[in-house]
Amino acid sequence: MSSDKARGMSFVEVMLTIVVITLGVLPLLTSIGSTGRTVYSMGKHQLAALVARSTLDRLLLLPYEDCRKKCLEMGAEINVTDDAELAELIGTIDFEHRDYDRMTRRIIVKDASSAEEQELMFVIEVVVSWPVPNSDEKRDFSFKTIKYENRI
């Protein structure tokens, strides 16, 4: 009779089972968090592309020298909603600021290697970044184009 009783689960075994199950479930919970972050990032991607394309369109419209000057002026990283021209548009509708929450934009100007080419063209890169929630990570999206001097 005594040996039959020993076949039952002891408290330690029960606790071990719980610990093992918990350890098995934890990675699943982590993967859900990661899925959430990916979904959030996916949602921002299209908006970031729209911001980058719009900014490039605006800059490419300017004459060569003005374009270069404007790119350098606008170079520093700012919140997308702080851009004066976009802010003006934001005021026209019932705008959801959470859509552009902490999304930033910066403009990089890259010169050609030779002095001769530098007078004729330069590269404009618009980088739009947004933070991933509950993490220090940041996602980037960038568009590059070449601004040619009209003489070409």
The residues that touch another protein, with contacts defined as CB under 8 A, are: 1, 4-5, 7-9, 14, 17-18, 21-22, 25, 28-29, 32, 35-36, 39, 42-43, 45-47, 50, 53-55, 57-58, 60-61, 85-86, 88-90, 92-96, 99
- The minimum distance between CB 135 and another protein, in angstroms, equals 16
- The minimum distance between CB 112 and another protein, in angstroms, equals 23
Report the C-alpha gap between 11 and 37 in whole angstroms: 39
In the complex with another protein, which residue's Cβ is closer, 17 or 135? 17
- The minimum distance between CB 14 and another protein, in angstroms, equals 6
- The minimum distance between CB 138 and another protein, in angstroms, equals 19
In the complex with another protein, which residue's Cβ is closer, 53 or 106? 53
- Residue pair 147/124 in contact (Cβ under 8 Å)? The answer is yes
